[in-house]
A and B are shown apart, each in its own frame.
Chain A
Amino acid sequence: DIVMTQTPLSSPVTLGQPASFSCRSSQGLVHSDGNTYLSWLHQRPGQPPRLLIYKISNRFSGVPDRFSGSGAGTDFTLKISRVEAEDVGVYYCMQAAQFPYIFGQGTKVEIK
């Protein structure tokens, strides 16, 4: 199985400042159809996760443009250009290039 490693596991952030989180896969995530199926989700405490980014860099409907995704191969990054209070919670990356799909351990974001 592919292993997904997120860093850091915890990230204190400052309101209004940028933040970035890393996700590394143990092997490439390019599917046979040529697409790279790496997505990012955000989970606030007590709520189900919600989709932020799909296929590395595509913002899902309704996601603020302060969120952006990038990367290729085995290294991927989620960036928040200016952190807002509602951005607290845990961010997960997920690979869906092959079964079984695998989530990273999550990065917990708290406001300093």
Chain B
Amino acid sequence: EVQLVQSGAEVKKPGESLKISCKGSGYDFTNYWIGWMRQMPGKGLEWMGIIYPGDSDTRNSPSFQGQVTISADKSISTAYLQWSSLKASDTAMYYCARRARLGELSLRAFDVWGQGTMVTVSS
């Protein structure tokens, strides 16, 4: 079964650092882009960025540039999203998702989603 499994919920204080993970299984993790999305409480989806685990090529949304770091370790089929200094406004659900392919063709749509990681930042 193709799946993405994300790390568990986190409760942090402002100023703390955090790294959440997204582990892929059931497919060749190296050859599919992985995107990260934010969903603040009661709000819509926001695209944060995307990484190609094969060579760690990364594209970031200008809205999140400098705020988070996206990385991947292809040897363990895991992508990461990290913060060096959290703010209360980072409180949200974060999803990773796989960018779909049909053979060699990218469909540029997200077909497999992780279950989400809830991050709560509060003093």
Contact = CB atoms under 8 A, between A and B. Distances in A.
Interface in A19-65: 31, 35, 37, 39, 41, 43, 48-51, 54-55, 58, 60
B62 A1 contact: yes
Contacts of B59: 99-100
Nearest to B64: A100
B109 A50 contact: no
Q: Is chain B's binding surface mostly helix, strand, loop or mixed? A: strand
B32 interface: no
A60 B99 CA distance: 13
Nearest to B111: A51
Interface residues of A, number: 28
Interface residues of B, number: 26
Contacts, number: 76
A22 to B, nearest CB: 16
Q: Is chain A's binding surface mostly helix, strand, loop or mixed? A: loop
A92 interface: yes
Interface string A76-98: 00000000000000101010110
Interface of A: 1, 31, 35, 37, 39, 41, 43, 48-51, 54-55, 58, 60, 90, 92, 94, 96-97, 99-106
Interface of B: 35, 37, 44-47, 49-50, 59-63, 95, 97, 99-100, 107-111, 113-116
18 contacts: A31-B108, A37-B107, A37-B108, A37-B109, A39-B110, A41-B45, A41-B110, A48-B97, A49-B45, A51-B109, A54-B111, A60-B109, A60-B111, A97-B108, A101-B47, A103-B44, A103-B46, A106-B44
